């Protein structure tokens, strides 16, 4: 277990602890029947804030091989995310990729985003360390380099794919990277002169405003605001040209990054509107209120003889259940549509994970939507459960800005 004592974005050394979830299991380390009887690895989950650039990052770094070589999360598990990435890919390819140009996705997961380009006159390549997901991507016709991205991988791609990439996409991956400079230098090797890097990351402002503490887990080493991201890219000779905000995953920034400081740029407005430093005491109070309200509601439901299941076994669900101490006596079961999760157990609290069809078979009184960022899609899918009187509850009311 490594600890990080300097800021990933500006390399400053003035890091201050601002929030701690204590020792937590790895959020995506779903357990077999046998493994729940064994001791589980845990690691401190502590947020540090850089007093120089505002970067927020974890104090501890879990070995990425442990977290990513066999990965449970699949992008294709959500129709909403498939549509989101398809729109992003179509728009970006039209804007930056010439005929037969090269599109490289870093953190390509199961190939969902690149598969949306099938039929387009472009060459695609995924880069992802998860061997199991590269196989799924291959079945979708998406070639994937099983590796962690950096300068060596960038050089290998340039040499083997006849030149640089016109478009590099990195969605929900930058927050997972320990050495951000190595990542940026890899982009400098791979990106064509007029090309673009499109980055999507969860937005720190949304985490703070909506008390989204369950999005804090060991995979997410960084919790980005605009200011530290701009500092990072500028330090590596890259320039943020445009910033958009999207509501997926609880609030996300989409940045367009170029080799040159093209105009127009809307960065100045974003920097002016970013409230710094975040109000951590209000955040801590909001998290505690959410935790107490949730435990109180689940306890009342159980004492009234009502049954509540979890809906979705997302990484954030593992954090919420463990940090709030919600074990099987309050929430006996979780359902999830992901084949790699069904039949396993939630890390730490050990709820069995069943297929969503079991919701209708057992008709629990309520479903706590642990995958609250997909609540609308889930409610549409489970209309029959609701029609029969089932109650779908999101952990905190102000989280779904759809
Ligand atoms: O950064 C990350 C984000 C992008 O994805 C990764 N480090 C890990 C992962 O986080 P997550 O697990 O919290 O992601 P989701 O997309 O919130 O997970 C949703 C879960 O809910 C999946 O396991 C699939 C499941 N699900 C379902 O059972 N039925 C989802 C939908 C939409 C459904 O209808």
Q: Is the C-beta atom of 370 inside 6 A of ligand 1?
A: no
Instruction: List Cβ neighbours of 282 (8 Å cut-off, separation of 6 or more).
Output: none
Q: In what order do the strands lie in the sheet with 15-25?
A: 15-25, 42-50, 56-58, 222-223
pLDDT at position 402, please? Answer: 43
pLDDT along the chain (402 residues), means of 10: 92 97 97 96 97 96 92 93 97 98 98 96 97 96 97 97 92 97 98 98 95 97 96 96 96 97 90 88 96 96 98 98 98 96 98 98 98 96 98 80 47
| Cα gap 124→250, rounded to integer Å | 29
Nearest-CA residue for atom 26 of ligand 1 = 312
pLDDT at 161: 75
- Specify the 3-state DSSP secondary structure of 25: strand
Q: Which helix (H) or strand (E) holds 367?
A: strand 366-369
What is the 8-class DSSP label of residue 34? T
Beta bridge partners of 196: 167
What region, left, alpha or beta, does residue 249 occupy, with left being phi > 0 and alpha being psi -120 to 50 degrees? left
CA 236 to ligand 1 center in whole angstroms: 32
Listing DSSP states for 247-269 in one string gives -GGGSEEEEEEESS--S---HHH
Q: Is the CB of 399 under 6 A from ligand 1?
A: no
- Predicted TM-score (pTM) of the model is 0.96
Closest residue (by CA) to atom 10 of ligand 1? Answer: 315
* pLDDT score, position 120: 96
Enclosing H/E stretch for 110: none
Closest among 351, 355, 338, 400 to 374, alpha carbons compared:
400
Nearest Cα residue to atom 33 of ligand 1: 378
The CB of 222 under 6 Å from ligand 1? The reply is: no
Whether ligand 1 lies within 6 angstroms of the CB of 336 is answered as yes
The single residue listed with the structure tokens 């367009």 is 256
């Amino acid at each position: 277990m490594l600890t990080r004592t300097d800021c990933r974005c500006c390399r400053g050394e003035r890091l201050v602890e601002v929030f701690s979830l204590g020792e937590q299991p790895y959020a995506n380390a779903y357990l077999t029947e046998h493994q729940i009887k064994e001791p589980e690895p845990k690691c401190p989950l502590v947020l540090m804030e850089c007093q120089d650039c505002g970067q927020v990052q974890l104090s501890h770094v879990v070995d990425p091989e442990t977290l990513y070589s066999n990965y449970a999360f699949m992008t294709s598990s959500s129709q909403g995310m498939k549509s989101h990435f398809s729109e992003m890919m179509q728009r970006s390819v039209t804007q930056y990729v010439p005929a037969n140009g090269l599109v490289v996705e870093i953190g390509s997961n199961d190939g969902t985003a690149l598969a949306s380009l099938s039929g387009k006159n472009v060459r695609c390549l995924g880069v992802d360390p998860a061997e199991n997901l590269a196989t799924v991507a291959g079945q979708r016709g998406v070639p994937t380099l099983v590796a962690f991205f950096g300068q060596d991988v960038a050089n290998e791609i340039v040499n083997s794919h006849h030149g640089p990439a016109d478009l590099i996409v990195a969605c929900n991956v930058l927050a997972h990277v320990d050495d951000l400079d190595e990542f940026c230098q890899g982009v400098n090797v791979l990106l064509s002169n007029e090309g673009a890097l499109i980055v999507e990351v969860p937005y720190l402002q949304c985490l703070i405003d909506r008390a989204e503490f369950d999005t804090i887990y060991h995979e997410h080493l960084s919790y980005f605001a605009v200011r530290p991201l701009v500092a990072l890219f500028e330090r590596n000779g890259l320039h943020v040209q445009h910033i958009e905000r999207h509501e997926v995953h609880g609030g996300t920034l989409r940045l367009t990054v170029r080799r040159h400081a093209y105009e127009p740029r809307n960065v100045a407005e974003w920097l002016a509107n970013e409230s710094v430093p975040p109000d951590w005491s209000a955040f801590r109070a909001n998290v505690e209120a959410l935790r107490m309200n949730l435990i109180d509601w689940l306890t009342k439901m159980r004492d009234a003889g009502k049954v509540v299941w979890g809906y979705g076994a997302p990484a954030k669900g593992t954090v919420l259940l463990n940090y709030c101490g919600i074990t099987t006596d309050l929430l006996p079961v979780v359902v999830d549509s992901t084949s790699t999760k069904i039949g396993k157990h939630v890390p730490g609290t050990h709820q069995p994970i069943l297929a969503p069809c079991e919701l209708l078979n057992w008709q629990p009184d309520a479903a706590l939507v642990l995958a609250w960022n997909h609540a609308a899609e889930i409610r549409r899918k489970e209309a029959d459960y609701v029609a029969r009187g089932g109650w779908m509850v999101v952990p905190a009311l102000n989280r779904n800005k759809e």
